[in-house]
Structure 1
Amino acid sequence: MFGRNRSQWHSRLVRIAGVERRPIGGRMAIMRVTVLGTGAMGAGMARSMLREDIEVTVWNRTVERSEPLADDGAMVALDPTAAVADADVVVAMLFDTAATLDVMATVLPAMKEGAVFVQSATVGVEGASRTASLAAEQGVAFLDCPVLGTKAPAEQGALVMLASGDPTLRERVQPAFDAMGAKTIWVGAEPGLGSKLKLVCNAWIGVLTAGVGQSLALAKGLGLDQQLMLDALDGAAAGSPYLQAKGKAIIESSYAPQFSVDGVRKDTGLIRDAIAASGLSTVLVDGVRAAFDAASEAGHGDDDLAAVYFGF
């Protein structure tokens, strides 16, 4: 199952109640946190907490994706209910609303009294409401806390935590939030406000990235050296580190995913729903979504969002 010699694993791991539990050498854990979903973001968040001596258990539908975290000191759970049983805080970083609700329905009844469930995926306005309602039905303390940042900030503990929910829960989760993020913005006491702010911020990121792609595609179409655009805007009021980073990625054809094209497409659909529900014009978000759709159709769905360039 682990793709390694079993004796090598059992020299370092002890199985307890369905969890691959690694001894932590006598160190005192600040708290016990479970991370559900160990993709690029969840794995980085788990490692950031481990560096702060938080005891971390991880679970992923495909166990091979969580296995490497055992080498960093995490406990690898073989099923989600075992993963959450002893946790003080459970952080869910899953792909979308459907995946999050499915896992929540399984794990919420298994969580111990007083534990806090933290929903960190981008699920949109309706998704945030549905996840909060499900937690309330099960009597589990809940915080809506999507994050700003991609794979690298997750690994560095430099995310921005966009938290909303019961203010009395803040002290319980703050050590974990401090480990995962450079800062926490407490958006309000109403669950779902964090998810609303996430949509606002991701709308801006989508527009910025599409703008970089369009301008570099135009430079190529006009027969210009694409680097000249970055040089012209470097240090200017209209320039930014983000322009330089994504522009360099496009010029160097470097598309290792920090945040994928298809991930942006999913989020842009949620953003469009929120814009339409607010009675605002969708003309800009429709254009951005069309560019990312075209890039995905060109075979770049799993590439970094800078590959929106191919949509032009």
Structure 2
Amino acid sequence: MDVGFLGLGRMGRAMAANLVKAGHNVRVWNRSSEAAQGIAGATPVATPAEAFRGDAAITMLADDAALRSVIVEGGLLDAPERPMVHVSMSTIAVALAQELAPIHERAGVAYVAAPVFGRPDAAAAAALNIVAAGDEAAIAKVQPLLDAMGTKTWRFGPEPYRANAVKLAGNFMLISAIEAMGEAAAFAEGHGVSAASLLDLLTNTLFASPVYKGYGALIAEHRYEPPGFTMRLGAKDVRLVLAAAEAAGVPMPFAGILRDNFIDAISHGDGDKDFAALATVAARRSGQS
């Protein structure tokens, strides 16, 4: 397939590289042009419009502002050449996804939301779990692309915003797990028990799952750099959860606590660390660090 890929951060570069490996013709664009270099087999282009055309265009941009700036304010949906399908793989607000769907429909471009679960190492291994929602025919058309980047595509119906709601719900649970491990680790240390020993026990017994084992290891080893995802991105996700929860009339009190703890961590200079470092907030408050 002829594919454009916009957004080449830690995740995007690996995802675009896997599309090339799968035999697709891939044009790549990034705001900082250096990131578009060095993806073997991909063709760097100078403008978003050169990437946003063909059989499909995939966006993996950092946040709502970046996506809106490039796709909507950049006029790509009004350009003479447009893709048949736009696959938005960024973690964005539910409200923005609801806004984008009718804009794409008027432009005659199918819109599929397909955010992902997985860190950069999973992206590199083409082992992402992809959450997709949108027109069934459009998803079917881009399924070979999704298969090249992930191990499974989980479909959630015809309304694209539902995929973004699922992604935010999952991130909320993940960040809640980090907070729980951080508080439990500080509690154990306060009673003379090594946090590393506690987490070794629990992540191999009661909580033997990828999230607890992976993030538990980072917390036990205080290994927060280099980041897979930064604290700032984690804080962004929690803000999106709270906004979507308010819009739906769903109280999420613990999300408010997570937001405040991210603010605490970032204000102490940890904004560019992996968001597993959220666990340090409980330790610091208890005088352990």
TM-score past 0.5 threshold: yes
Deviations 1:217-269 (A, max 9, x none): 33333332222112321432334332232222123232221121111110101
* Cα distance change on mapping 1:53 and 1:224 into 2, 3 Å: same
Could you tell me how far 1:66 is from its partner in structure 2? 1.7
Q: Does 2:114 match 1:145?
A: yes
TM-score, structure 1 length as denominator?
0.84
Equivalent residues in 2 for 1:179-194, closer than 5 Å: 179-194=148-163
TM-aligned CA deviation for residue 191 of structure 1: 2.1
One-letter amino acid of the counterpart of residue 83, structure 1: A
Structure 1 pair 142–241 and aligned structure 2 pair: CA distance change class (3 A): closer
RMSD: 1.7
Give the whole-Å Cα distance in 2 for the aligned partners of 1:215 and 1:178.
38
- Secondary structure of the structure 2 residue equivalent to 1:73: coil
Deviations 1:124-174 (A, max 9, x none): 210111222321232211111111112111111111111111111123101
3-state SS of paired residue (1:165): coil
Q: Which residue of 1 aligns with 2:57?
A: 90
Q: How does 1:270-281 map onto structure 2 within 5 Å? A: 270-281=240-251
Identify the range of structure 1 (289-298 vs 235-244) with the bigger mean alpha-carbon deviation: 235-244
CA–CA distance in structure 1, aligned partners of residues 190 and 79 of structure 2: 57
Map 1:202-241 to 2 at 5 A: 202-241=171-210
AA in 1 matched with 2:12 = G
Work out the CA distance in 2 between the residues paired with 1:155 and 1:117: 22
TM-score by length of 2: 0.90
Question: Retained in 2: the 8 A contact 1:163–1:185?
Answer: yes
Gaps of 5+ in 1: 1-30
CA distance in 1, matches of 2:241, 2:80: 32
Q: Distance in 1 between matches of 2:212 and 2:191?
A: 20
Contact between 2:36 and 2:44, CA under 8 Å: does it hold in 1?
A: yes
Of 18, 32, 38, the residue aligned with 1:62 is 32
Matched, 1:102 2:72: no
- Cα-to-partner distance string for 1:185-230 (whole Å, 9 max, x where unaligned): 1100122111111111111111011112222233333332222112
Letter in 1 for 2:131: L
Aligned length: 279
Measured in 1, the distance between the counterparts of 2:191 and 2:265 equals: 21
Deviation for aligned residue 1:113: 5.9
Cα shift readout 1:72-127 (whole Å, capped 9, x = no counterpart): 21111111112234x21100111112211221133223364661111111112101
Q: 236-245 or 206-215, which moves further after superposition?
A: 236-245
In structure 1, what is the Cα distance between the partners aligned to 2:258 and 2:20? 37
The alpha-carbon distance between structure 1 residues 114 and 273, as it changes in their structure 2 partners (threshold 3 A), is: closer
Amino acid at match of 1:101: R
What is the match of residue 129 of structure 1?
Answer: 98
**What letter matches 2:51 in structure 1?**
A
CA distance in 1, matches of 2:80, 2:15: 20
Distance 2:143 2:174 in 1: 27
Contact 2:204 2:213 in 1 (8 A): no
Q: Give the residue type in structure 1 aligned to 2:264.
A: A
Alpha-carbon distance between aligned partners in 2 of 1:117 and 1:231, rounded to the nearest angstrom: 43
Paired residues of 2:59 and 2:87 also in contact (CA < 8 A): yes
Residue type of the alignment partner of 1:207: S
- Provide closer, same or farther for how the CA distance between residues 82 and 279 of structure 1 changes in structure 2, counting only shifts above 3 A: closer
The corresponding residue for 1:11 is: none
Task: Tell me if the contact between 1:142 and 1:165 (Cα under 8 Å) persists in the aligned partners.
Answer: yes
Aligned twin of 1:38 = 8
* Conserved? CA contact 1:230–1:247, under 8 Å: yes
Q: Counterpart amino acid of 1:306?
A: A
What is the 5 A alignment of 1:14-25?
none
Contact 1:293 1:311 in 2 (8 A): no
Contact 1:59–1:66 (CA under 8 A) maintained in structure 2 = yes
1:78 to 46, 55, 58: 46
| Structure 2 gaps, min length 5 | 283-289
Q: Which amino acid aligns with 1:79?
A: T
Aligned partner of residue 266 in structure 1, secondary structure: helix
Question: After the TM superposition, which parts of structure 1 deviate over 4 Å for at least 4 consecutive aligned residues?
Answer: none
